[in-house]
Amino acid sequence: MRSAICFAVLVIAALTANTAQARSATLVMLNGKIWTENPRQPEAEALAIEGNQILSVGSSAAMRKLAGPDCKIIDLGGRRVVPGFNDSHVHLISGGDGLISVRLENANSLEEFRRRLGDYARSLSKGVWIRNGNWDHQRWSPAELPTHEAIDAVTPDNPVFVWRYDGHMALANALAMKLAGLDRNTKDPPGGEIVRDQQGNPTGILKDQATAIVERVIPPPPESEIDTGLEAAMHEAAIHGVTSVQQMWDGPADRYSAEKFRELQKFARDGRLTVRIYNANPLRDWKSLATAGVQASFGNPVLRMGNLKSFADGALGAETAWMDAPFADRPGYSGLASADLMDSAGMFANIQGADKAGLQISIHAIGDRAIHTVLDLFERAEREDGPADRRFRIEHVQHLRPDDAGRFKSLGVIASMQPYHAIDDGRWAGKVLGPERIHTSYAWRLLLDHGAVLAFGSDWPVAPLDPLSGIYAAVTRRTLDGKHPQGWVPEQRITVAEAVHAYTVGSAFAEHQEKVKGSLEAGKLADLVVLTDDIFRIKPDDLDKARVYMTVFDGSVIYTAVTGR
């Protein structure tokens, strides 16, 4: 008996010592306004971090007491803090690639486009491919597609294959077409178009599946180039307070996803990742993951896999979104199902196989018919396979049948959406959709009112990797052309709190990670963002002026603004 008591005392002493040892913060942040996303303690003044985890959240006085011997103390000076942003849909490596390649996204004329390509080509050795670009001919007047003739003279020794920012078409120069064996005799592939002049010669513009004709002759990017691109992408994430991303497979044109994932692993091994990554593979490759026993969200806190991506349709801008009724400006034509969905039995077999293996499935669907069809496929899989914590996702969910809004909650399907697209597409979507259908375009209010889980992201590099501009878009719906000061389809606006929730808790849930991140509370990963302005107090119209003041990732400060408010 006595020895038992002694033993109990020893255990308690050991536990206390353990706790005392554990309760030693390495970073304490005081005097702030912390938005925790923890419903039991929604706001607080200070927090303490130990290593890469949050130790405690509370008053400045209480947190100061937790400081260990070498603890770093940061006075927040009353600034607003939110959990690290989690972007639920990015193309991280292509985004980074674009940052280190020729920058055409803000070339405002064909002349500027040509000049930048020429300058960039002169900086390269002969034969090196010029890729990426992200040009937008809608910025030019006239808004005509560029041709190879416009750029051949300034790029004589370098093959060029530069993409429009939407990822649905690219321009090849004469050298690239020659290397690809592309000429007037090449036939359009299914699902793609070779744009031709009046004589039938290719102009250099290739759309959708036709881009593969050139892509397949581009050599794999050297490891050093992927590294530099990834570094650039991580910097871009840090300055925007993005501490987690859900990396999507880029689509059929992406031939080097294995090389890219190997680079991500190298960075993770070397402790060089400053953003957490959840990687998606193509749905059609599910068997290789299933055979290896990989399930949803397998990995460690910085690098995980087990998500699968497929496409149900195209994009509204290219009028390849698959709609129930014809486009308002194209009678008799209502878009296209993707090649994958055209074989809907094959797609269902992939969904079911992957689902039974415990993998997660994310399907791109933009048009109302595409969304409806994917919901039907998910519903059937759930019915046949029985209950599971599967978290099926639809990516984009842009133009929704009103009566499908309730199915997201009833089927447990996550709406993974990118608010910035609404203020970009809202400039012209009314012309394409007509006055009725726009009422349930980017229908965040409707989806939330029906209890859906919203996960927000950017689709970078299609839109900026900047959650604050996404929040501005979700709250104001003010289109980029300034033509909708009260908001485009204002009834679908949501609040700042709802938008922040979708960028943190919603996106953590979408990757099966809500137990370890998304909110600021004891035991969770120490990822957070200090903002220049209190986004919950400033006027919604000023949200686009708010910036990131500081980013903390894994318990360390990885970015501080040079000049901040």
Q: Which is nearer to Zn ion, 248 or 475 (CB)?
A: 248
Residues with Cβ within 8 Å of 121's Cβ and at least 6 positions away in sequence, in order, are: 130, 154, 155, 157, 158, 160
Distance CA 188, CA 41 (A): 59
Amino acid at 425: D
Structure tokens at 375: 């919901």
Q: How far is the CB of 374 from Zn ion (least distance, A)?
A: 15
End-to-end CA distance of the chain: 64
Q: Which is nearer to Zn ion, 274 or 458 (CB)?
A: 458
Structure tokens at 520: 């600021």
Tell me the window of 269-277, 411-419, 453-461, 555-563 that interacts with Zn ion (CB under 5 A): 453-461
Q: How far is the CB of 396 from Zn ion (least distance, A)?
A: 8
Q: How far is the CB of 284 from Zn ion (least distance, A)?
A: 17
Q: How far is the CB of 91 from Zn ion (least distance, A)?
A: 6
Q: Which is nearer to Zn ion, 80 or 364 (CB)?
A: 364
The DSSP 8-state label assigned to residue 188 in this structure reads: P
Structure tokens at 117: 């390509």
Q: How far is the CB of 73 from Zn ion (least distance, A)?
A: 41
Q: Which is nearer to Zn ion, 460 or 472 (CB)?
A: 460
Q: Which is nearer to Zn ion, 398 or 440 (CB)?
A: 398
Residues 225-284 that bind Zn ion (CB under 5 A): 248
Residues with Cβ within 8 Å of 67's Cβ and at least 6 positions away in sequence, in order, are: 24, 25, 28, 48, 73
> What is the dihedral angle through the alpha carbons of 369, 254, 432, 398, rounded to the nearest 10 degrees?
50
Q: Which is nearer to Zn ion, 248 or 268 (CB)?
A: 248
Q: How far is the CB of 516 from Zn ion (least distance, A)?
A: 25
Q: How far is the CB of 390 from Zn ion (least distance, A)?
A: 21
Q: Which is nearer to Zn ion, 182 or 280 (CB)?
A: 280
Per-residue contact track with Zn ion, 30 to 69, x per CB under 5 A? ----------------------------------------
Neighbours of 270 (CB within 10 A): 8
Distance CA 514, CA 504 (A): 9
Tell me the window of 6-14, 199-207, 210-218, 455-463 that interacts with Zn ion (CB under 5 A): 455-463
Per-residue contact track with Zn ion, 402 to 441, x per CB under 5 A? ----------------------------------------
Distance CA 208, CA 355 (A): 29
Q: Which is nearer to Zn ion, 459 or 498 (CB)?
A: 459
Tell me the window of 73-81, 351-359, 451-459, 526-534 that interacts with Zn ion (CB under 5 A): 451-459
Residues 119-178 that bind Zn ion (CB under 5 A): none
Q: Find tokens 């296209």 and name the residue.
A: 336
3-state SS record for 36-83 = CCCCCCCEECEEEEECCEEEEEECHHHHHCCEEEEEEEEECCCCEEEE
Q: How far is the CB of 225 from Zn ion (least distance, A)?
A: 22
Q: How far is the CB of 168 from Zn ion (least distance, A)?
A: 11
Q: Which of 243, 185, 266, 280 is nearest to 503 (CA)?
A: 243
Count of residues that interact with Zn ion, criterion CB under 5 A: 2
| Residue 459 near Zn ion by CB under 5 A | yes
Residues with Cβ within 8 Å of 124's Cβ and at least 6 positions away in sequence, in order, are: 130, 158
Q: Which is nearer to Zn ion, 248 or 499 (CB)?
A: 248
Q: Which is nearer to Zn ion, 160 or 233 (CB)?
A: 233
Displacement of CA 66 from its chain's centroid (Å): 36
Give the residue closest to Zn ion by C-beta: 459
Amino acid at 340: D
Ramachandran area for residue 455 (φ above 0: left; ψ -120 to 50: alpha; else beta): beta
Residues 311-340 that bind Zn ion (CB under 5 A): none
Per-residue contact track with Zn ion, 191 to 230, x per CB under 5 A? ----------------------------------------
Q: How far is the CB of 49 from Zn ion (least distance, A)?
A: 33
Ramachandran area for residue 489 (φ above 0: left; ψ -120 to 50: alpha; else beta): left
| Residue 87 near Zn ion by CB under 5 A | no
The binding site for Zn ion (CB under 5 A) comprises: 248, 459
